Structure formats: structure tokens, C-alpha cells
Structure 1
Amino acid sequence: MPDTRIDIRPLAADDYPAVGRIFFCAIHEGTRAAYDAAQRLAWAGETIDLDRWKARVAALTGFVAECKGEPVGFITIDRSGYVDLAFVLPSTGRSGIGGRLLGAAADWANAHGARQMTTEASLVARPFFEKHGWHVVEEETVLRMGVALRRFRMRRDLII
């Protein structure tokens, strides 16, 4: 039986190439059923902008999921409990990785005094968050590069 152990560790500044790749693949491959090509391009770009990801990851707090030492997912969280980014490689979807990352972020948020967690979830992410006890606060449409994307403001109260 292959080793499928998943390790969760803190996000590090030098994770930016992996984070950029996971994000890019999750958008361009993992959301095809929900967003058209123009929407995916507006959301994730045509290529992975490593300079942008380097600067962005350096300013974030979060967690990375690794399988056999390779990053396969990540989540970011701030002290208010806001989840800005939560993505896994499409090839590892529905394997519990997202739930493990969400659990690590919830534990961190609780430990840092957050009373709730919030996010803006995509059409694809909404069912995942609902499965983990989140609820929709508001549906919204945002424009990225002039292209409309539907998403959902979501919230989950934390146990204090």
C-alpha cells in the first residue's frame, strides 16, 4: 500500500513556488465545471507570477499540506479568522486534505482569539465549506479584469 500520509506544517516564505502552482492548477483544472475559460484566466492569469507569489506568501500566515514531502495544498488565515486562500491540487481533491488544513486554520484562529472564521468561497469551494459547518452570509459577484465571478461570503462561528 503506498504511503499517503499527509503532514500539515506552517506556511513558510519559501513555499511561494508551490503555493503559486497549487493555486494555478486548482483554478485552471479544478474549477472547469463551474467557471468558463475567460473566468479562470481572469482569476488565475495565464501563467504563474512567481514574483507576485513571493511577495504575497511572505506576508501570509497559514498551513501547507504535504504528501511525501511535496506540497499538495495550502490555506491562509489572519488573526480575525479570515481565510483568504484555501486550495488543494485537483489530483488530491476529496481525500481529506482540505479538511485537515481547515482544521489547522480553525485551531490557529481559536488560539489567537478569533470568534469566527470568514471567507469568500467560489462555486466549487462552497459545498466544501458547508460540509464543515460554514454557512452563506451573502452571494456576490466580483469583477476580475472586467470578468464577472460568482462567489459566496461565508462564516463559521468558533467555539471559544
Structure 2
Amino acid sequence: MEATTGLTIRSADVADGPALHHVFVSSIREIDETFYSSEQKLAWEAAVSPDSWPTRILELTFFVAVRDGEIVGFISWQRSEIEHVYALPNQTGIGSILMRHAIASMPVGDLALTSSLNAERFYQKFGFWSVEALLKVRRGVEIPCIRMRRTA
């Protein structure tokens, strides 16, 4: 069940950078080690500088989920590519709310994304299917992921 009480979805602002980084890092740290090792998670989180968020916000379409004044999740995209979907670990249903918002808001029907291993089933619920396995290298560490697509 999704907890929507008191939740607001709004456009991100460059001042949201520190909160976005907190959500990003918190989300990665909570991934079960059956998917990614501690070394992989540390490389993943270290690959994104806390100072990079304002630029990301300006370059992408970016929305945040806010509850009680706190950013609890975010989503971003550019054209037909979903770039980020992250939520605080204790915020059940936020990712689904953000995905529905993005799918309804995006100007194109065919979508693509690169999923972490742990999120593949989540994206499948929104009609995405796996296209190919990929390896991203972050800080010299290989991080397996999955390229996914969805047609309108």
C-alpha cells in the first residue's frame, strides 16, 4: 500500500541538492548485498559528487516527493530516458508514485532506463522489459545493471 498522506510532488530546485544527495546515498546503502557488495555500493555512491546535483537539476526534468517538509524521493528524466528514481528506504510506495507521475508527464510514449539489479522487478510493474545486461564502471569497480525499455 502506498503512503500518500501529506505527500506533495513538485519540481526540484537547485537548493534541493543536499537533500537529493542524502536520498541517493541512503537508498544505495540499503540495497541488499545479494545484489551489490559493499565495495560496489561505495563506488556507486562516490561516483556522484554532492556538488553535482544543481547541474543535474538544471539539465534534466526533475521532480521530488516531499512529506512534512522533507524530500523523501525523486525522479528525473531527459526526453525518453528515465535517469534517476530514488526514495528513502523507509518510504514505501514513493517510487511508484514518482514513476506514475513521470510516465504521465513525459511527452513521449516509448521509454528507456538503466536499472540496478534490485530494481528490475519494480520497473517491470510499469511495463518495462529487460533488453540487455550491462556493466557500469564506477571508481574502477564493475557494477552490473540492466538496460530496460517500455513501449506506449
TM-score relative to the length of structure 2: 0.89
Q: One-letter code of the match for 1:16? A: G
Unmatched tracts of structure 1, length 5 or more: none
Q: Which moved more, 1:11-20 or 1:119-128?
A: 11-20
Unmatched tracts of structure 2, length 5 or more: none
3-state DSSP of counterpart to 2:56? helix
Paired-residue identity, %: 34
Residue 104 (str. 1) matches residue 101 (str. 2)? yes
Shift in Å, 1:31: 4.5
Residue aligning to 2:7: 6
Distance 1:16 1:68 in 2: 18
Residue aligning to 1:115: 109
Residue 148 (str. 1) matches residue 142 (str. 2)? yes
Residue aligning to 1:82: 81
Residue aligning to 1:60: 60
Shift in Å, 1:19: 0.9
3-state DSSP of counterpart to 2:96? helix
Distance 2:131 2:68 in 1: 37
Q: One-letter code of the match for 1:88? A: A
Distance 1:152 1:50 in 2: 25
Shift in Å, 1:61: 1.1
After superposition, the C-alpha distances for 1:57-96 in whole angstroms (9 at most, x for unaligned) are 23221211111221100000112x101111001111xx22
The two structures, once aligned, show a CA RMSD in angstroms of: 2.0
Shift in Å, 1:14: 1.7
